Chains A and B, each alone.
Chain A
Amino acid sequence: MSKRIEVSGLDIYYGKFKAVEGVDMIIESRTITALIGPSGCGKSTFLRSLNRMHEVIPGGRVTGKVVMDGEDLYGADVDPVNVRRQIGMVFQRPNPFPTMSIYDNVIAGVKLNGRRRMKRSELDDLVEQSLRGANLWEEVKDRLHRPGSSLSGGQQQRLCIARAIAVRPAVLLMDEPCSALDPISTLAIEDLMQELKAEFTIVIVTHNMQQAARVSDRTGFFNIAGTGQPGKLIEMDDTSVIFGNPKVKATEDYVSGRFG
């Protein structure tokens, strides 16, 4: 089900302010693509434009093309709701629904309208499968009907991943998924990403360059010329090239810690 995304000539705006300019990028299927760059360079904004979450912000809009499966996600007759059902997202801060149990959090996506009605046993299977997929099953199997907010931060984030993969998306976007977590929880999620890669296309925004180097296959470096200027994709290549032998000087400065 994993899919490839082609981005071409993408400009992203907040109202009149152009936040990101002229991004061309190919995100390969069954790979982990990391987006790195200094704060404010537009990498999170770019990530959110991939599943049309950017436009939920008042004034947020996009020009250019994001093509998945031969279809432009920004086409006139495309419903953003359907885009988001295929491209899931994990946020920077764990955000399980506090009013739902662990169980209900996992199936929140599949219970939405327009999806097949499922039997109780099917739901049970899906919950177990998704929680196993997120490496959380063993820790929560005895308390599935406790509130999601009763878990630790790292567990909550894995619950959010379980919730995202339960709807079988083609692509999983992760916006700094480990920045609020301790090193052990971070490691758990990085391991998990390696397993998820077999089934999903993963795009991760991270401030942690070791993390990008550890987990990703491809890396894109974003940068801005200065405050008020739009962010741009400076260089995109295999992760080993970006961290070992980048073509652009700014990339080398950034990954070697001389800047940013």
Chain B
Amino acid sequence: MTKPATAPSGPPSGDAPPGDAEPGGSPAQPQSSPHAVPVARSARRFGDLLFSGAATLAGLSIVVTLAAVFLFLIGQGFPAFTADAEDLPGEQNFAAYVAPLLFGTVWAAVIALVVAAPLAIGIALFISHYAPRRLAQGLGYLVDLLAAVPSVVYGAWGIVFLAPHAVPVYRWLERYFGWLPFFDGPTSATGRTMLTAGLVLAVMILPIMTAINREVFLQTPRLLEEAAMALGATRWETIRMTVLPFGRSGIISAGMLGLGRALGETLAVAMVLSATDVITVNVISSTNPATIAANIALDFPDSSGLAVDALIASGLVLFALTFVVNYIARVIVARRREFSGANA
């Protein structure tokens, strides 16, 4: 309770400390004039109005920004939806044009998430529950630093280091796991494959996911962990009974943020992936689908007319995709709301 809020209802005398009674004090201290109760009231309302107005404005700005982007994408991309096939790049209709890109985007992001999510949970658990305190602090700091590395650096690392070093591994995968459609081969000689792109994306989204998971795991109520330990749970059982279920919605949120970044990542994929116009789940060959964002970045400078419209329309598809992904995440979180850790 703040002073201005209580002053008008209290007795007018004796309530104001001497310092506040100085004439010409700042208008933020209405109790400086004890008789002007209505003025004090409206001054308080002014503060309320100011803050509720500012908060509403901030809330609206996000809606307006999203709407503006959406309208731009619709307006600029619309011609591509209705254009004749022969006018579009690749001389195919828009659906056929965007399908491999959409597939490549989702595929690369899924690979990244499948690799990064368990790692992020593991690192976060190590930092929050296993490492000695000093080591945990250092590691946490390191992870936060990794999140600040620009994507062009990851892209360069992917091309120069990861791709060539991955080739022998891919050969091995083709040889022993070639019966899986993912490793059907033939192995790319450069290593600039979908799997390499997915791994680079995984490294990129790992820090933010780890950081969120770590914060969520640290929020587990001590009392719940003690309840599990008092039942005779080992460290791992305690984590499985309390920390992981308690952090479930946070883990999902971390995954969604990582997925969102992987879906939209442009530069690193554009640098690493050697792309053609195909749909394939084979992740180690030299024919890979591009991703929407990388395709826009690579083709935009050389495009004009309808080709630009097609690129922007593909951006609209990416926009819609992220909405769908977030919606699914919300449904998953909401489905077990009454069993949420927030009820602890």
With A82-B232, A160-B227 in contact, do A97 and B245 touch (Cβ < 8 Å)?
yes
- B229 touching A100, Cβ below 8 Å: no
Contact assessment for B229 and A91 in the assembled complex, using a CB-CB cutoff below 8 Å: no
Q: CB within 8 Å of B: which residues of A?
A: 51, 53, 56, 58, 81-82, 84-86, 88-89, 91, 93, 95-101, 108-109, 112-113, 146-147, 149-150, 160, 163-164, 167
**Given the complex, which residues of A lie within 8 Å of B336, measured CB to CB?**
99
Which residue of the partner chain B has the closest CB to A101? Answer: B339
Q: How distant is the Cα of A53 from the Cα of B133 in the complex, in angstroms?
A: 20
Which residues of B211-243 are within 8 A (CB) of A? 221, 223-224, 226-234, 237, 241-242
Q: Residues of A contacting B229 with CB < 8 Å?
A: 53, 56, 84
Residues in B whose Cβ lies below 8 Å from that of A86: 232
Instruction: Give A107 Cβ to nearest chain B Cβ, in Å.
Output: 10
Q: Is A164 within 8 A of B231, CB to CB?
A: yes
Partner of B241, one of A88, A97, A167: A97
Contact A99 B339 (CB under 8 A): yes
Q: Contacts A147-B343, A149-B344, A150-B338 given; indicate if A97 touches B234 (C-beta within 8 A).
A: no
Q: Whose C-beta in chain A lies nearest to the C-beta of B236? A: A113
5 of the cross-chain contacts (CB-CB < 8 Å) are A53-B226, A58-B133, A88-B231, A95-B344, A98-B340
Answer whether residue B341 sits at the interface, using C-beta atoms and an 8 A cutoff. yes
CB neighbours of B228 from chain A (8 A)? 97, 108
A151 CB, min distance to chain B CBs, angstroms: 11
B residues less than 8 Å from A97 (CB atoms) = 224, 227-228, 241-242, 245
B248 close to A (CB within 8 Å)? yes
Bound CA span A255–B227, Å: 31
B246 interface residue (CB < 8 Å to A): yes
A99 near B248: Cβ-Cβ < 8 Å = yes
Which chain A residue has the least Cβ–Cβ distance from B233?
A112
A81, A99, A160: which contacts B232 (Cβ < 8 A)?
A81
Q: Would you call B340 and A108 a contact (CB within 8 A)?
A: no
The answer to whether A108 touches B241 (Cβ under 8 A) is yes
Assess the B232–A93 pair: CB atoms within 8 A. no
| Cβ-defined contact, B231 with A98, below 8 A | no
Closest to B221 in A: A95
Q: Complex formed: what's the CA distance from A186 to B223 in Å?
A: 21
Task: Note all chain A residues with C-beta closer than 8 A to B341.
Answer: 98-99
Instruction: List CB contacts (< 8 Å) of B324-344 with chain A.
Output: 336, 338-344
* Per-residue A-contact encoding for B237-280, CB less than 8 Å = 1, 0 else: 10001100110100000000000000000000000000000000
Interfacial chain A residues near B223, Cβ < 8 Å: 91, 93, 95
User: Which residues, 297 to 344 on B, are CB-close (under 8 Å) to A?
Assistant: 336, 338-344
A85 touching B248, Cβ below 8 Å:
no
Contact B343 A149 (CB under 8 A): yes
CA distance A230 to B224 in the complex (A): 28
Q: Which residues does chain B contribute within 8 Å of A93, judged by CB atoms?
A: 223
Q: Which of B32-86 contact A (CB under 8 A)?
A: none
Whole-angstrom CA separation of A248 from B146 in the bound complex = 64
Q: Which residues of chain B have C-beta atoms less than 8 A from A150's C-beta?
A: 338
B246 touches A84 (CB 8 A): no
Do A84 and B241 touch across chains, with their CB atoms under 8 A apart? no
Between B231, B245, B342, the greatest number of chain A beta carbons within 10 A of the residue's beta carbon is seen for: B231
State the Cβ distance, B333 to closest chain A Cβ, in Å: 13
Q: Which residues of B contact A88 (CB under 8 A)?
A: 230-231
Give A112 to B344 CA distance when docked, in angstroms: 21
List A contacts of B241 (CB < 8 A): 97, 108
Contact assessment for A53 and B230 in the assembled complex, using a CB-CB cutoff below 8 Å: yes
Given contacts A98-B246, A112-B237, A113-B237, contact A84 B340 (CB under 8 A): no
CB distance from B264 to the nearest CB of A (A): 32
Residues on B with C-beta less than 8 A from A98 are 224, 246, 339-344
Q: Kindly state the separation between the CA atoms of A51 and B229 in the bound complex, as whole angstroms.
A: 10
Please pick, from A81, A147, A149, the residue contacting B234 in the complex, using a CB distance under 8 A. Answer: A81
**Smallest CB separation, B218 vs chain A (Å):** 14
Instruction: Determine if A91 and B227 form an interchain contact, defined as CB atoms under 8 angstroms apart.
Output: yes
The answer for the CA separation of A90 and B336 in the assembled complex, in Å, is 27
Residues of B within 8 A of A108 (CB): 228, 231, 241
Residues of A within 8 A of B339 (CB): 98-101, 147
